[in-house]
Amino acid sequence: MAGIIMEIVQKGWPISRIKKFIYLGFLLVAAIFTVLYIVKTNPINYVSDKLPFTLGNEKPRFLFSIYGSGMNGGLSKPMDVTFVNDRIYITDTGNKRVQIFDRSGNSVGLFGKAGNKAGEFKFPYGITGDSEGLIYVSDMRNANISVFDRAGSFVKILADNKQLNKPGGLYISENRLYVSDIAESKVKVFDLNGKKLLEIGKAGRGKEELNSPNSVSVEGNRVYISDSGNDRVQVFDTEGKYINTLGFENNSKTSMFVNPRGIGVSGGRVFVASKVTSYVFALDQNGQKIFTLGGMGQEDENLALPNGMFIDEEGRIYIVDSANQRLVVYQN
């Protein structure tokens, strides 16, 4: 290819010959995609599988765990995590607050207390940050999303119980806030001023229907929704159009997930926390299992009822290990 271009550039081909060449090129591209379409292979997956930056079968490396600061009483039933402002924020749900740690896992603060007034929590659940470093926390029982500054001072309520029923997982992508509404079984998309833009899914168990979605994650054009009560993950595009379903390998009839929760995407892999089986599954773009992390237990590389998950830009995987009352960090 490069050779041909060099030749063209150096020798200066006649226009007609170039034209012919381009038409041929078009035909070739069309033919390739026709073939791919007929054999039902996703060209993006096909190409991305061949690209060097996918990580093959190599497992992420365990880095460390965070049990919370002893002084503050540790974590109690933590549910979700995010990494923003160079800080790790964990919803410490049992203690009805949020704990903040630096990148090495040292405690640097906490915010929030029990209650139902603005800035207080009953069941703090999803957590995410925007490009300005503001922190968004959903409260499943107060039915709202509160915004805090990076140090944890309350800023405002972004959406309240008129717009939300039981908000769970949160994710911000392209200045759009994705919220899984567990009770309404849909994902609601807001702009960062709290205006609702879109709803994805509706209650049910069929295709494009959801049951108690606990988490949502966005990568490029793809919105991954953990359809917890249907034991699967459904993928939509950012306009809410259904793409596919993950969890059923090789035409298996039963899902590999039981009560799936957090989802993270990194290096061509989709990570899904299967809460009740205590594994995090790594899938390739076709939904085939590559490997698992965890397994029920208390050792470093075990998990006990993993819930929320977040993957940062450097490929660090943060997994909330809820029954072990800790956060585990892996490097992808």
Name 113's Cβ contacts closer than 8 Å, sequence gap at least 6. 96, 97, 120, 121
The answer to whether 180 contacts ligand HEC (rule: CB under 6 A) is no
**Alpha-helix residue ranges (DSSP H) falling in 69-212:** none
Residue 33 phi, psi (nearest 5):
-70, -30
Relative orientation angle of helices 15-38 and 43-50, to the nearest 10 degrees: 100
Closest CA to 123 of 151, 164, 85, 84: 164
Sign of the C-alpha dihedral, residues 109, 113, 116, 122? positive
User: In angstroms, what is the minimal distance from the CB of 277 to ligand HEC?
Assistant: 9
Residue 283 three-state SS:
strand
Q: How far is the CB of 105 from other proteins (least distance, A)?
A: 23
Binding residues among 64-93 for other proteins as defined by CB under 8 A: none
Tell me: does residue 245 bind other proteins (CB under 8 A). Answer: yes
Identify the H or E element spanning 19: helix 15-38
Two tokens, residue 142 = 């107060």
The residues, any chain, with a CB within 8 Å of residue 46's CB and separated by 6 or more, are 36
Report the nearest approach of ligand HEC to the CB of residue 312 (Å): 30
CB 226 to ligand HEC: min, Å: 14
Q: Quick one: 37 or 64, whose CB is closer to other proteins?
A: 37
Which of 277, 317, 321, 329 touches other proteins (CB under 8 A)?
277
Considering the rule CB under 8 A, would residue 8 count as an interface residue with other proteins? yes
The DSSP-derived string for 145-169 is EEEE-TT--EEEEEE-TTT-SSEEE
The whole-angstrom separation of Cα 114 and Cα 161 is 18
Candidate residues 63, 157, 183, 276; the one interacting with ligand HEC per rule CB under 6 A:
276
Q: Which of 131, 254, 288, 331 is close enough to bind other proteins by CB under 8 A?
A: 254
Question: Residues, the chain, total?
Answer: 332
192 belongs to the binding site for other proteins (CB under 8 A): no
The phi, psi pair for 15, rounded to 5°, reads: -50, -45
Which residues are CB-contacts of 52 (< 8 A; sequence separation ≥ 6)?
A: none
Establish if 284 lies at the interface with other proteins (CB under 8 A).
no
- Smallest distance, Å, CB 275 to ligand HEC? 8
Q: With contacts defined by CB under 8 A, how many residues of the chain interact with other proteins?
A: 68
User: Can residue 183 be called a binding residue for ligand HEC (CB under 6 A)?
Assistant: no
Smallest gap, in angstroms, from Cβ of residue 274 to ligand HEC? 11
305 binds, among ligand HEC, other proteins, none (CB under 5 to 8 A by kind): other proteins
Partner in contact with 175, chosen from ligand HEC, other proteins, none, beta carbon below 5 to 8 Å by kind: none
> Do residues 145 and 154 touch, judged by C-beta distance below 8 A?
no
Closest distance of CB 231 from ligand HEC, Å: 9
Of 235 and 276, nearer to ligand HEC (C-beta) is: 276
Q: Which helix (H) or strand (E) holds 32?
A: helix 15-38
Give how far the C-alpha of residue 57 lies from the chain's centroid of Cα atoms, to the nearest Å. 21
Q: Rounded to the nearest whole angstrom, what is the least distance from the CB of residue 316 to other proteins in the complex? A: 25
State yes or no: residue 182 binds other proteins (CB under 8 A).
Answer: yes
Binding site for other proteins (CB under 8 A): 8-9, 12, 15, 18, 22, 25-26, 29-30, 33, 36-37, 40-45, 47, 123, 140-141, 166, 168, 182-183, 185, 205-207, 211-212, 214, 221, 228-232, 237, 241-245, 248, 251-259, 275-279, 287, 295-296, 304-305, 322-323
Binding site for ligand HEC (CB under 6 A): 259, 276
